[in-house]
Structure 1
Amino acid sequence: MNSLANIIHVSLLSIMKNKRRNIFTMIGIIIGIAAVITIMSLGNGFKKTANEEFSNAGASKGAALINYFAKDPNAPNRDPFTESDMELARQVKGVKDARVKEDDTFGLSSKASTEKKETDIAVVKKTSVTSPEEGEGFTEDDNLMENRVATISSNVADELFKGNAVGKTIYIDGMGFEVVGIQNNGQIQNAVSIPTRTVKHYLPNLKPDAPQLEILFDEKQNKKKIANQVAKKLNQSGSAAGLGEYQYTDLEEMMKSIGKIFDSITYFVAAVAGISLFIAGIGVMNVMYISVAERTEEIAIRRAFGAKSRHIEFQFLIESVILCLIGGIIGLLLGILLASLVDALTPEYIKSAVSLGSILLAVGVSTLIGVVFGWIPARSASKKELIDIIK
């Protein structure tokens, strides 16, 4: 252990002795590792976000979602998941419970009207809207007090009031709401934002366009088999069986496929970025050859005191590994910083996730570069015999 500690100490002294040269040598490793870590962190972030979205959509192991697709999209909306439908689903062996899942990500379907006009809208539940493009919006106090206020998108404002909407009243499901602002929602063109508690109190009957039946069961059960049995039973006896079709989509399989695609793209791009590591390795080899040439006298002295070839080889090999490890650690920290910076600049679009695998990859690749590209110069140093040096 003392011998290894001494070798590491001598290696660090040698690296510090030629700081400028070694820093320039490490730059290639730093850039390469930083690029790989940044790409992998962003790739892992995309994958994690996608998995969360799929889990929210029913791709978790203990639940499955049954969708209903009407034959005639223009037919009057009919609730395809009544209490009797849920009872049918519960009768299927393995189903613990069944309930309607109302995904209101894209709002609750309704119509807004004035005395003269009417338009389709999507009611979005929010606790507050404090910075609308026009008007004052509503606050958390409005939500707590269940005030009948709303902000509407510019599309709805143009349709109902030709743009001049603030202060006017719109009617939703027979209930009047004061327009307190115009606020566009990027995902929903015809959005009408209303305090969450107000919606629950005054508009309890609103439903999303596409309700889903969520069935729950033990994780050990065959999810696909049970879900297909539920869909089959509903297609035979469901309340809306003749007007459309009940279907189960295996989101978990879709999630796995998309995860594999993300992994493939991430590793491919990381491999392309890793080409710079090969170039950096050539630089390390060149520096180690220079170091061997400059330290011929040191090799001769160690030979004179009985050092064997393997001792000389190990000394220079350890020095190469330490040089690459320092560059790899700096590159790792820089990569995490860059990924976090991208995450901070685009919080709504990109999420980074640094995994233990990425960290081990950075350390492992750095060590491998040190071993592979340091071995040849180290081998060259070990073959120098004392008599040849004296000559």
Structure 2
Amino acid sequence: MNSLANIIHVSLLSIMKNKRRNIFTMIGIIIGIAAVITIMSLGNGFKQSANKEFSNAGASKGAALIDYLPQDFNATNRNPFTDADIDLARQVKGVKDARIKEDDTFGLSSKASTEKKEANISVVKKKAVESPEKGSGFTEDDNMMESRVATISSSVADELFKGDAIGKTIYIDGMGFEVVGISNHAQIQNIVNIPTRTVKHYLPNLKSGSPQLEILFDEKENKKTIANDVADKLNRSGSASGFGEYQYTDLEEMMKSVGKIFDSITYFVAAVAGISLFIAGIGVMNVMYISVAERTEEIAIRRAFGAKSRHIEFQFLIESVILCLIGGIIGLILGILIASLVDALTPEYIKSAVSLGSIILAVGVSTFIGVVFGWIPARSASKKELIDIIK
């Protein structure tokens, strides 16, 4: 009976002998672990999504972005990154290459016109807009066929057509587009949604209202130093240096800070959810005390055959750990399923990511509960002497 395999076998038989009681005992552990895993998976998903957005915005190790802030945002748009500015950036020591990176997240600046009116707009590239507030919108087939169609915001419709825009034609950069829907955007006012391939084909000259200069260098180089040197050189000799300021923002540091905030929130909420594990541990201790009381004869027989106190203690301790591990594994699976379900129901807003650390945490916490809350009953069982049991 001293071998670990035999101890585990006896423990499983004991757990199966009282299935209903042990299942109810495990429910607390299952709920606690599932809650912790769900929260950590969603927290990791948010963190990965944020890191991806920062990377897309220039937070990667081998690249940095230089922004331009004009003194007067209402002034006529000036191109702050000319070919001469790009050549200046390439002259800075450590820079391998420089190029324009245009962020069209908030639209490409342009003007929309009819025969009599004109309006400032932001052109947003979309693969499809199938459910606008008014009209039919356009589909992915329109995108593939590079159809000259567009949906416009209500503000543009009111300004150009007094609201009656469906079926009318607007002109952008000399090209006509049929209005097939009115669809507003949460972040931008005067928007015009046009199929992505159509924009690339018919409106290749549209520029972002906030272009950035992307500089590339070896990952071993000091990113911050090189980027600041480029910004300083452009502020001295750049084509738009007298009308605004070139500056570098360390997005990598911001990404780390945001990651720390996400981790802090995730661990705090997970810790609150994990309070139920303490209650579950009390339940495990109670069940183990009952098991010790019910198996007094077994303890007596083992004592008669020469089992020592540590053998008895180890037997009951292993039973407690196995009971908690089973609950922990079920909770882990349940937590992953819940996180995946939330992910599936809200694919555009919430992403889940189960990490190896979460799995190790679930197994580790379950084992810890089994050891901590099973040790006292196991110790109680080990102190039972054969003479005391016979009396």
TM-score, shorter chain, exceeding 0.5:
yes
Greater mean deviation of Cα atoms: 154-163 or 67-76: 154-163
What letter is aligned with 1:284? V
| Pairwise CA distance, 1:138 | 3.0
Give the corresponding residue for 2:233: 233
Distance in 2, Cα, partners of 1:145 & 1:308: 82
What letter is aligned with 1:155? S
Distance in 2, Cα, partners of 1:58 & 1:174: 33
Give the corresponding residue for 2:177: 177
What letter is aligned with 1:354? V
Percent of matched pairs sharing the same residue: 88
| Pairwise CA distance, 1:155 | 2.6
Give the corresponding residue for 2:162: 162
Greater mean deviation of Cα atoms: 16-25 or 137-146: 137-146
What letter is aligned with 1:228? N
Give the corresponding residue for 1:223: 223
Distance in 2, Cα, partners of 1:361 & 1:198: 50
Give the corresponding residue for 1:317: 317
Give the corresponding residue for 2:257: 257
Q: Does 1:44 align with 2:44?
A: yes
Counterparts in 2 of 1:1-391, with a 5 A limit?
Answer: 3-391=3-391
Q: Give SS of 1:349's match.
A: coil
| Pairwise CA distance, 1:174 | 2.5
Unaligned runs of 5+ residues in structure 2 are none
Distance in 1, Cα, partners of 2:299 & 2:212: 76
Distance in 2, Cα, partners of 1:330 & 1:342: 18
Distance in 2, Cα, partners of 1:296 & 1:146: 82
Unaligned runs of 5+ residues in structure 1 are none
Distance in 1, Cα, partners of 2:382 & 2:137: 77
* CA offset digits 1:291-350 (Å, max 9, x no partner): 000000000000011111111001000000000001101111111111112212222211
Contact 2:107 2:208 survives alignment (8 Å): yes
* CA offset digits 1:67-92 (Å, max 9, x no partner): 00001111100000011100000000
| Pairwise CA distance, 1:140 | 4.1
Q: Give SS of 2:146's match.
A: coil
TM-score in terms of structure 1 length = 0.97
Distance in 2, Cα, partners of 1:287 & 1:64: 60
Contact 2:2 2:311 survives alignment (8 Å): no
Distance in 2, Cα, partners of 1:4 & 1:229: 65
Distance in 1, Cα, partners of 2:35 & 2:2: 37
Alignment coverage as a number of residue pairs: 391
| Pairwise CA distance, 1:196 | 2.4
Q: Give SS of 1:99's match.
A: strand
Greater mean deviation of Cα atoms: 128-137 or 377-386: 128-137
Distance in 2, Cα, partners of 1:138 & 1:366: 53
TM-score in terms of structure 2 length = 0.97
What letter is aligned with 1:104? D
What letter is aligned with 1:313? E
